[in-house]
Amino acid sequence: MIKAAVLGSPIDHSLSPLLHTVAYAELGLESEYTRIEVKSGELGAFLTQCDSSWTGFSLTMPLKEEVLQFTEDATALAKRIKSANTLFQRTSQWSATTTDVSGITNALAAHDTDATGNVLIIGGGATARAAAAACDGIATKITIMNRSLSRVADLANAVETSDLEFISWGDEGAFELADLIISTTPEGATDSLVSSFPPKPSGIFFEVIYKPWPTAAVSAWSDNGGQIIDGLDLLVHQAIDQVRIFSGEIVERSSMAALMRRHGLKALASST
């Protein structure tokens, strides 16, 4: 029996319960996967109330950084990017890892592409660091566009090989030069940059959020003829790796991704 949940705030919009439940049913496994509102500063108290019946948790905003305070067993990658989106019980203790990095890599691969060339990452938080780590060593250059320079050190730690540059918010030339743009900002932030988009984009625009559906940025890029990868793809591919961790089962990625995306699209269509 898999007993799990997605934790965060706000959490009502999350499609994780749907996608995980679909996946476990496809694998022939009994499961109970819910969503639980846990606000910043509440994770420690919540975990102390959890018994051994819990398999694990998916973590979203604002808990990906906070969780590292409550486990001594975190993967090297999670420590490096200071972010974990997956918490699971192993040998009677909580272990933390990130599937955001592999989720980004696999979402790109599903569209027959990768991070080769010049990558522009919009944002500076936990998902931006995951994106930077996913592109590191593949991209020739990674450029970070963020409103603040407060996260420079943490972002720099996520990049070990590729050239790294920080630019100001709304730098129009960056969109023209990028082979891949990854937007990691909260709802509405990247939408404010639509006026800076090139009229005929040549790069791929990868949006990591799926609320609203579709975002204004994704729509604008696509309407101008540019290729897009949407936030549902990332949600699906990072979830597949969580399903593997929680279940211990081998999961055939392409068929499972198609199944989960089909259910996710149906749910998004009914909510708009």
What percentage of the chain reaches a pLDDT higher than 90?
96
| Average pLDDT, integer, range 137-148 | 96
Which of 216, 258, 209 lies closest to 230, judged by CA?
Answer: 209
H-type alpha helices, 37-136: 43-48, 76-81, 100-110, 126-135
Residue 253 corresponds to which tokens in the numbers above?
A: 């990625």
What is the pLDDT confidence band of residue 150, given thresholds at 50, 70 and 90? Answer: confident
Same domain, yes or no: 93 and 66: yes
Query: 87: domain range?
Result: 2-98+234-271
Same domain, yes or no: 42 and 144: no
Indicate whether 272 pLDDT > 80: no
Each residue's pLDDT tens digit, 179-232: 999 999 999 999 999 999 999 999 999 999 999 999 999 999 999 999 999 999
| Average pLDDT, integer, range 124-129 | 96
Same domain, yes or no: 217 and 128: yes
pLDDT of residue 149: 81
Same domain, yes or no: 122 and 207: yes
Report how far apart, in Å, the C-alpha atoms of 173 and of each of 46, 117, 181, 258, 261 are: 45, 16, 12, 36, 34
Same domain, yes or no: 135 and 191: yes
Indicate whether 13 pLDDT > 80: yes
| Average pLDDT, integer, range 16-27 | 98
Helix H or strand E segment including 170: none
Q: What's the pTM?
A: 0.96
Q: How far is CA 61 from the centre of its chain?
A: 10
| Average pLDDT, integer, range 46-54 | 96
State how beta strands 93-97 and 139-145 pair. unpaired
Residue 106: what residue type? Answer: N
Whether the link from the prior residue into 201 is cis, omega within 30° of 0, is no
pLDDT of residue 148: 86
H-type alpha helices, 149-230: 152-158, 172-177, 216-223
Same domain, yes or no: 175 and 130: yes
pLDDT of residue 176: 95
Same domain, yes or no: 70 and 134: no
Mean pLDDT across the chain, nearest whole number? 96
CATH number at residue 121: 3.40.50.720
What is the pLDDT confidence band of residue 63, given thresholds at 50, 70 and 90? Answer: very high
List all residues 6 or more positions away from 78 whose beta carbon is below 8 Å from its beta carbon: 68, 84, 96, 97, 98
Give the strand order in the sheet containing 204-207.
163-167, 139-145, 117-122, 180-183, 204-207, 227-229
How many Å apart are CA 4 and CA 109, to the nearest integer?
A: 28
Same domain, yes or no: 118 and 218: yes
How many Å apart are CA 214 and CA 191, to the nearest integer?
A: 11
Same domain, yes or no: 112 and 213: yes
| Average pLDDT, integer, range 244-272 | 96
Task: Report the domain count for the chain.
Answer: 2
| Average pLDDT, integer, range 258-264 | 98
pLDDT of residue 271: 84
Same domain, yes or no: 75 and 106: no
For the packed helices 100-110 and 126-135, what is the interaxial angle rounded to 10 degrees?
60
How many Å apart are CA 205 and CA 21, to the nearest integer?
A: 29
What percentage of the chain reaches a pLDDT higher than 70?
100
